Amino acid sequence: MITIIPAIDIIDGQCVRLTQGDYDQKSVYSSSPADVAKSFEDVGLQRIHLVDLEGAKASEPRNLRVLEQVATRTDLDIEWGGGIKSTESLRRVLDAGADRAICGSVAVSHPELIELWISEFSPERIILGADVRDGRVATHGWLQESQINASQLIERFISSGLSQAIVTDISRDGMLAGPAFELYVALQQEFPNVEVTASGGISNMDDVRRLDAQGTRSVIVGKALYENKITLKEIEKWLLQNG
């Protein structure tokens, strides 16, 4: 069964959502991300996706207090992204309570660091983040564009033991228009030993069911939850039926 991972994006300690990664198109949903995380745990979800949007722009974590609060108040498996550009910042994130660290921009600018971290911290704790716009990987809070695609980025770390990758289609993120189904089928087939997580565009539970049916192993759900396109009751029912 596909793993549903609810997302909490953080700016100024608040739970927010951006549209297509645009910091000027921000909606605030809650002043307490820890409360939101607890509501996810209460319906049976086990993993959560936390993104420090300020950290992504600043190249260092800026909202670790939120991470500590979520880790203290829940037993969720926490994956954290945003601002992890050095071994020091990675250690700070893990020490603050993250179970897994998402490394995106640094994978493009300093791939040798990802190889080192996978070796030192284990493949289970390091997630490759590939944020894609028009086929190319974007970095630094989606503000810069590289010259490689998601497949090339994942391939770069296969020999190092990479086991997890989150691939976000930026053009679909926050648009509730459905995910890039074909992209995730192709990547999962190309890299059968990597858990490829679908991210961006999830609009309803039918999208989740289709991803599940095609073999996608995990999916991040964000705006659809906050706009009640997917309800916690629907997720709870799904978990009970498929648990």
pLDDT score for 59: 85
Q: Which pair of tokens denotes residue 175?
A: 């648009």
How far is CA 184 from its chain centroid? 14
Q: Which residue in the list 9, 169, 207, 212 is annotated as catalytic?
A: 9
Query: Which residue, 102, 152, 164, is CA-closest to 129?
Result: 102
Q: Which residue in the list 52, 131, 169, 207 is annotated as catalytic?
A: 131
pLDDT score for 141: 59
pLDDT score for 45: 98
pTM of the predicted model, to two decimals? 0.94
For residue range 95-152, list pLDDT tens digits in order.
999 999 999 889 999 999 999 999 999 999 999 999 998 888 987 655 667 789 999 9
User: pLDDT averaged over the chain?
Assistant: 93
CA distance 10 to 132: 21
Say whether 99 is catalytic: no
CB 181 within 8 A of CB 201: no
Q: Which pair of tokens denotes residue 27?
A: 């909606």
pLDDT score for 147: 82
Say whether 9 is catalytic: yes
CB 154 within 8 A of CB 185: no
Q: What string of pLDDT tens digits covers the 243 residues of the chain?
A: 999 999 999 999 999 987 766 778 888 999 999 999 999 999 999 999 999 999 988 889 999 999 999 999 999 999 999 999 999 999 999 999 999 999 988 999 999 999 999 999 999 999 999 999 888 898 765 566 778 999 999 999 999 999 999 999 887 766 678 999 999 999 999 999 999 999 999 999 999 999 999 999 999 999 899 999 999 999 999 999 997
pLDDT score for 170: 83
CB 48 within 8 A of CB 13: no
Domain 3-242 has CATH 3.20.20.70: yes
Query: Which residue, 27, 150, 8, 29, is CA-closest to 79?
Result: 8
Q: Which alpha helices (H) appear in the chain, and where do they start and end?
A: 33-42, 53-58, 64-73, 87-95, 105-109, 111-121, 150-156, 181-190, 205-213, 223-226, 232-242
CA distance 149 to 136: 5
pLDDT score for 172: 76
